[in-house]
């Protein structure tokens, strides 16, 4: 039997030839003893399945002696005696009760999970507690056994929430397989195949994960034979039966002799919520979505000094995400973003700004947008903010396989394009589409294990610098010979080196030089971090209890010290005032707070923020947030360098103690110390 931790370590070994025990410890934060225990566990599974055990060689390297693709094939087929953890067992119990709604005893669950009666009893108690948030409970009676108690619509919503959570696990296959019998499994695979075919005909785009969400949810719904009521159906922005997804759902179900209107509406709602489609030009739907996007971009520009040039591309990409996100909000369908924590770690400064922006927008339909959807939107904006450059110096053709949504795959493509300028990346594909392009490519990058004869690199969807360094190392090792043959720079360097020195290992030196020179984007790994707020302000830029007769003088006095400190020019000060006169008090971003700024080309010398408190508040003309008492004057040299500091400021403006300090501070250093204290 193999548990989640051991399975993760096995995947690390499969994807990282010559990985060491120490490297696994670093990547997993496990002790040497824990890693060795997991390797013993893996070796037991390997030998049970007629493979050789992992071999340890000098330097602690771990070597798989068998064909890696054979092992991957077994894992993907579910040929593994997997040990479920507590969370997974609870979901299995729920799914089992959902599909078998009578005569389920404790013995059935013990036999299903292969754990003790005490463990199952404990799992039932914890699951019951979770289900209370859906207004559900699990009850036992001698006559009917364990049953889910509650309204069918609430039971359906608990089911879809658990399915969405499970699909985000790599171990989803093992969980679902356990509760579906052969007949149900056949129904699932048959329905998924037909759905894929019809979606492609209708030009709907859907990720691998989302096709599983739609299919499992609807198959479970059909198997339970329940009647549910979709919320907000009457308030939906257009009638369900007037869109192409309804016609598509009707066609799919009629082919299976299913004619119930409720079933068609449920499938329609699922497709609308978990697929993307080019919005019909000049439609009511496009007008509504474009209004949201335009409001977002305008506020990013005017409030946060973030401007975008390629608006057509941005509108197109955001429509693809916002449309299903709005539909999910209408139908109360969940979205679990398994990358949320990684996104917040890497792009937390952008997330903070996007979250603040959506909270401030007065648009009803997006007021309840989830944190998970905001995290997906964050990676869209991360790709817009980052500049990418194309190159014609391609040596290889590659493809990226990403089961997650569009935003994740676009972000990953941007990162890999920068890391590997020598690779011409084709359009991203799903797992099922890989065979369509397999003859055209030399290398595959994937976020999940897949079967392929091509060189395969498993990548983290949101890579940190260590991930990038390891990926570069393994890529350059795998393609070192090709890179050396085609790189004139290395040969030229070797001629110079050999002229002035005695080279003992020519091939080894060329390999090392190839690793160094074939990744010109190594600068990504050592790029300077965006400055924190305390690094772009100082005591001289902080002014307390300044007198100003009106908003113009408030901006002028706040900006004057920035000019004196060499951060901006007189032209920039004039531009801030002119922009406010032309566009209105958009710079008043929250109660009593103004954030004046202009474009970098208007006279920015250096990224900075000046902090000014006014002795008496002044009117800027903002209907909700006047009068202004605090002026944060911003200058930024580009779209990107100020974002981390700006995210800090957004957090501070939600901190009541910060305002108290602004009021009572006698010295600028007090404010600077508070900012540094918040930064840790």
Q: Judge whether 165 lies within some domain.
A: no
Per-residue pLDDT of 99-132, as tens digits, reads 987 789 999 999 999 999 999 999 999 999 999 9
Do residues 434 and 428 make contact, with C-beta atoms less than 8 angstroms apart? Answer: no
Report how many domains make up the chain: 5
Asked whether residue 288 is domain-assigned, the answer is: yes
What is the residue-wise DSSP string for 351-385?
HHHHHHHHHHS--GGGTT--HHHHHHHHHHHHHHH
- Spatial CB neighbours of 462, under 8 Å, sequence gap ≥ 6: 339, 342, 343, 346, 379, 408, 411
**Range of the structural domain that residue 199 is part of:** 180-277
pTM of the model: 0.74
Quick check: is 91 in a domain? no
Domain assignment present for 137: no
Q: DSSP states of 412-462 as a string?
A: HHHHHHHH-TTEEE---B-GGGHHHHGGG-SEEEESS----SS-EEE--SS
Q: Are residues 273 and 294 in the same domain?
A: no
537 and 671 housed in the same domain = yes
Domain closes at, from 324, 351, 385: 385
- Catalytic positions, written as ranges: 597
| 10-residue mean pLDDT series, the chain (680 residues) | 83 81 85 89 88 84 84 75 88 94 89 93 96 96 93 95 87 82 84 85 81 93 86 66 86 91 92 82 78 86 80 85 87 88 85 84 72 88 64 73 76 82 85 86 88 87 76 77 51 76 77 56 49 91 94 94 93 92 87 91 92 94 91 88 86 91 93 90
Using CB atoms within 10 A of its CB, is residue 509 exposed (0-12), middle (13-18) or buried (19+)?
middle
Give the CATH number for residue 464.
Answer: 3.40.50.2300
CATH of the domain at 36: 1.10.10.10
Task: Indicate if 662 and 568 belong to the same structural domain.
Answer: yes
């Amino acid at each position: 039997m193999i548990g989640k931790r051991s399975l993760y370590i096995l995947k690390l070994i499969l994807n990282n030839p010559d990985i060491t025990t120490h490297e696994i410890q670093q990547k997993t934060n496990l002790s040497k003893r824990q890693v060795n225990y997991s390797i013993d566990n893996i070796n037991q599974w390997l030998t049970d399945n007629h493979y050789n055990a992992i071999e340890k060689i000098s330097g602690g390297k771990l070597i798989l002696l068998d064909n890696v693709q054979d092992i991957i094939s077994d894992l993907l087929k579910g040929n593994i005696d997997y040990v479920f953890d507590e969370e997974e067992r609870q979901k299995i119990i729920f799914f089992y009760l959902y599909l078998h709604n009578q005569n389920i005893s404790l013995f059935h669950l013990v036999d299903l999970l292969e754990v003790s009666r005490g463990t199952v009893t404990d799992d039932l108690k914890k699951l019951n507690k979770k289900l209370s948030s859906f207004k559900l409970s699990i009850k036992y009676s001698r006559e009917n056994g364990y049953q889910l108690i509650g309204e069918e619509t609430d039971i359906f919503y608990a089911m879809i929430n658990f399915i969405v959570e499970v699909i985000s696990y790599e171990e989803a296959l093992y969980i679902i397989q356990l509760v579906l019998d052969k007949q149900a499994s056949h129904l699932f695979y048959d329905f998924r195949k037909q759905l894929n075919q019809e979606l492609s005909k209708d030009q709907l785009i859907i990720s691998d994960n989302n096709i599983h969400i739609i299919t499992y949810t609807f198959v479970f719904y059909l198997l339970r034979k329940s009647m549910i009521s979709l919320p907000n159906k009457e308030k939906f922005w257009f009638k369900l039966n007037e869109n192409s997804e309804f016609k598509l759902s009707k066609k799919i179900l009629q082919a299976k002799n299913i004619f119930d209107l409720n079933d068609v509406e449920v499938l329609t709602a699922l497709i609308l919520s978990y697929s993307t489609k080019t919005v019909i030009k000049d439609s009511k739907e496009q007008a509504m979505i474009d209004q949201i996007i335009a409001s977002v971009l305008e506020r990013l520009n005017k409030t946060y000094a973030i401007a975008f040039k390629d608006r057509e591309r941005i509108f197109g990409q955001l429509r693809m995400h916002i449309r299903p996100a709005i539909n999910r909000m209408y139908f109360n369908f969940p979205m679990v973003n398994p990358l949320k924590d990684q996104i917040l770690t890497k792009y937390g400064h952008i997330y903070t700004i996007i979250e603040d922006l959506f909270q401030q927008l007065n648009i009803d339909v997006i007021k309840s947008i989830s944190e998970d959807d905001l995290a997906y939107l964050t990676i869209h904006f991360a790709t817009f903010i980052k500049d990418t450059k194309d190159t014609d110096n391609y040596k290889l053709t590659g493809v990226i396989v990403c089961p997650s949504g569009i935003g994740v795959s676009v972000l990953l493509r941007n990162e890999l394009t920068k890391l590997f300028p020598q690779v011409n990346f084709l359009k991203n594909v799903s797992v099922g589409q890989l065979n369509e392009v397999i003859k055209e490519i030399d290398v595959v990058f994937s976020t999940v294990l897949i079967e392929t004869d091509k060189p395969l690199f498993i990548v983290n969807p949101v890579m940190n610098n260590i991930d990038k360094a390891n990926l570069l190392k393994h890529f350059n090792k795998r393609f070192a010979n090709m890179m050396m043959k085609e790189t004139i720079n290395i040969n030229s360097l070797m001629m110079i080196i050999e002229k002035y020195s005695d080279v003992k290992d020519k091939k080894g030196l060329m390999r090392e030089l190839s690793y160094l020179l074939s990744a010109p984007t190594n600068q990504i790994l050592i790029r300077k971090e965006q400055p924190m707020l305390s690094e772009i302000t100082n005591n001289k830029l902080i002014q307390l209890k300044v007198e100003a007769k009106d908003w113009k003088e408030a901006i002028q006095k706040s900006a004057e010290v920035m000019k004196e400190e060499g951060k901006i020019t007189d032209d920039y000060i004039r531009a801030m005032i002119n922009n406010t006169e032309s566009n209105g008090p958009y710079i008043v971003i929250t109660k009593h707070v103004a954030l004046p700024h202009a474009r970098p080309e208007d006279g920015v010398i250096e990224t900075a923020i000046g902090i000014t408190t006014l002795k008496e508040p002044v009117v800027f003309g903002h209907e909700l947030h006047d009068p202004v008492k605090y002026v944060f004057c911003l200058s930024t040299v580009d779209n990107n360098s100020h974002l981390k500091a700006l995210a800090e400021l957004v957090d501070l403006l939600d901190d009541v103690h910060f305002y108290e300090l602004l009021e009572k501070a006698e010295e600028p250093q007090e404010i600077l110390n508070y900012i540094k204290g918040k930064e840790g």
